[in-house]
C-alpha cells in the first residue's frame, strides 16, 4: 500500500501539485487520470522521489520515503518497477541485457537462472525471438513491453507505469492494459498507472484518481466514474462521443 499525504510540488513559482492526498492499494490497478499537463507525471515522479516535493509525506507500506536517507531510499527502490513514458530502455544494451540488468546487480543467481528469468519475463509480455536485438531495432510497442518486462524482472512490490500505452494501436494497447492487470493480481502488486485514455480505465482501472490542475479532484471506482456529477470529471470522461453513447445506453 502506498499513501500520499498533503504533497505539494512547485517548479519556481509554478504550483504543480496542490495538497495531494491519495491511497493506493495492493492487488489493484490504481489509475491516475487527467488532462495533459495536469501533473500526472510530476505526481508519479514525486512518489518515487525523482522530484522532491516541498511538503508532504509518502509511505510505502508504512515506511516514510521522502525524508528517508539515500541508502534507505535505494532499498525501497529495489522493490519498485517503473515503466517510463518514453520506455527508457538502455540503448547500448540488447533486450536481453536490459532485462538482465537488475538481476546482475541485485541477485547472486547463476547465468542460467538469470537467463531463465529473462525469458520468463519476455514470455509474460508476449515477445519472442528478440533477445539479441537492440531497442532501436524493435517497434515502439515492443519497447513498451520490454520496458514492462524489465520492470517486473525482480518481482516488484510496487509497479509504476507512465502512460504505458500511449502511441500504440488499440489492440496492442489493450494487451498491455490486460497484462498490467494480470501481473498486478497475480503478484499482489501495488500498481499505479498514469493515463488519459478512457479505454484503459475501462479495461484495467480498479480505483481512479482524477487530477485536475494539480489537485486530486475526484476519486472512486470504475463504475462510479460514469455516474458522478462532478463537472470537470464529466467533461474529461465524456469528451469522446463513444463514452457519451455508453452513458446514454447504460443510463
Partner 1 sequence: MRLLTTIGKYFVLMSSVFAKPVKLRIFIKRVLEEVEQIGMDSIWIVSIVSIFMGAVLTLQVAINFEAPYIPRYLIGLSARDTMILEFSSTIICLILAGKVGSNIASEIGTMRITEQIDALEIMGINSANYLILPKITAAIISFPVLNLLSIILGIAGGYLVSAATGVVSVYDYIYGLNYLFVPFYVTYSLIKICVFSVIITSVSSFHGYYTFGGALEVGKSSTRAVVYSIILILLFNLILTQLLLT
Ligand X SMILES: Nc1ncnc2c1ncn2[C@@H]1O[C@H](COP(=O)(O)OP(=O)(O)OP(=O)(O)O)[C@@H](O)[C@H]1O
**Total binding residues for partner 1 by CB under 8 A?**
24
Strands 2-11 and 14-24: antiparallel
Of the candidate residues 63, 67, 74, 116, the single one contacting partner 1 (CB under 8 A): 74
Q: Which of the stretches 39-47, 202-210, 224-232, 234-242 binds ligand X when contact is defined by CB under 6 A?
A: 39-47
Partner from Mg ion, ligand X, partner 1, none binding residue 249, C-beta < 5-8 Å depending on class: none
DSSP code at position 226: G
Helices 111-124 + 140-152 axis angle, to 10:
130
Enter the C-alpha cell of residue 24.
Answer: 493506493
| Interaction of residue 34 with ligand X, rule CB under 6 A | yes
Considering only residues 162 through 201, tell me which ones interact with ligand X, judged by CB under 6 A.
196
Partner from Mg ion, partner 1, ligand X, none binding residue 82, C-beta < 5-8 Å depending on class: partner 1
Strands 29-34 and 207-212: parallel
| Interaction of residue 28 with Mg ion, rule CB under 5 A | no
Cα gap 236→142, rounded to integer Å: 29
Question: How does 14-28 read in b/e, with b if 16+ C-beta sit within 10 Å?
Answer: eebbbebebebebeb
Dihedral of CA 74/161/128/90: which sign? negative
Q: Which of the stretches 75-83, 121-129, 179-187, 214-222 binds partner 1 when contact is defined by CB under 8 A?
A: 75-83
| Interaction of residue 140 with partner 1, rule CB under 8 A | no
Partner from partner 1, Mg ion, ligand X, none binding residue 74, C-beta < 5-8 Å depending on class: partner 1
Would you mind telling me the total number of residues written for the chain in this entry? 251
| Interaction of residue 109 with partner 1, rule CB under 8 A | no
Of the candidate residues 16, 80, 83, 89, the single one contacting ligand X (CB under 6 A): 16
Q: Where are the alpha helices (DSSP H) in 109-206?
A: 111-124, 140-152, 170-187, 198-204
Placement of cell 500520499 in the chain: 4
Q: Contact at 8 Å (CB) between 103 and 153? A: yes
Enter the C-alpha cell of residue 226.
Answer: 460514469
| Per-position x/- string for 38-77, each x denoting binding to Mg ion as judged by CB under 5 A, each - no binding | ---x------------------------------------
| Interaction of residue 78 with partner 1, rule CB under 8 A | yes
Q: Which of 172, 93, 168, 86 is nearest to 125 (CA)?
A: 172
| Interaction of residue 200 with Mg ion, rule CB under 5 A | no
Of the candidate residues 20, 24, 33, 40, the single one contacting ligand X (CB under 6 A): 40
Interacting residues toward partner 1 by CB under 8 A: 45, 48, 50, 70, 73-78, 80, 82, 84-86, 88-91, 101-102, 104-106
Residues binding Mg ion (CB under 5 A): 41
Amino acid at each position: 500500500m502506498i499513501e500520499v499525504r498533503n504533497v505539494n510540488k512547485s517548479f519556481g513559482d509554478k504550483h504543480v501539485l496542490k495538497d495531494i492526498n491519495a491511497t493506493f492499494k495492493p492487488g489493484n490497478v490504481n489509475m491516475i487520470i487527467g488532462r495533459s499537463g495536469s501533473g500526472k507525471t510530476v505526481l508519479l515522479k514525486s512518489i518515487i522521489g525523482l522530484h522532491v516535493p516541498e511538503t508532504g509525506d509518502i509511505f510505502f507500506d508504512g515506511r516514510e520515503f521522502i525524508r528517508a536517507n539515500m541508502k534507505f531510499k535505494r532499498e525501497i527502490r529495489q522493490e519498485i518497477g517503473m515503466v517510463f513514458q518514453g520506455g527508457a530502455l538502455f540503448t547500448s544494451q540488447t533486450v536481453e541485457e536490459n532485462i538482465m540488468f537488475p538481476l546482475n546487480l541485485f541477485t547472486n543467481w547463476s547465468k542460467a537462472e538469470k537467463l531463465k528469468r529473462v525469458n520468463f519475463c519476455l514470455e509474460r509480455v508476449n515477445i519472442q525471438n528478440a533477445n539479441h536485438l537492440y531497442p532501436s531495432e524493435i517497434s515502439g510497442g515492443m519497447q513498451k513491453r520490454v520496458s514492462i518486462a524489465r520492470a517486473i524482472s525482480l518481482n516488484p512490490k510496487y509497479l509504476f507505469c507512465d502512460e504505458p500505452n500511449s502511441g500504440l494501436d488499440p489492440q496492442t494497447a489493450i494487451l498491455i492494459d490486460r497484462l498490467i492487470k494480470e501481473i498486478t493480481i497475480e503478484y499482489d502488486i501495488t500498481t499505479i498507472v498514469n493515463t488519459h485514455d478512457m479505454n484503459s480505465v475501462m479495461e484495467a482501472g480498479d480505483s481512479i484518481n482524477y487530477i485536475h490542475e494539480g489537485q486530486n479532484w475526484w476519486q472512486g471506482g470504475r463504475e462510479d466514474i460514469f455516474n458522478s456529477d462532478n463537472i470537470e470529471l464529466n467533461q474529461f470522461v465524456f469528451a469522446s462521443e463513444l463514452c457519451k453513447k455508453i452513458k446514454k445506453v447504460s443510463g
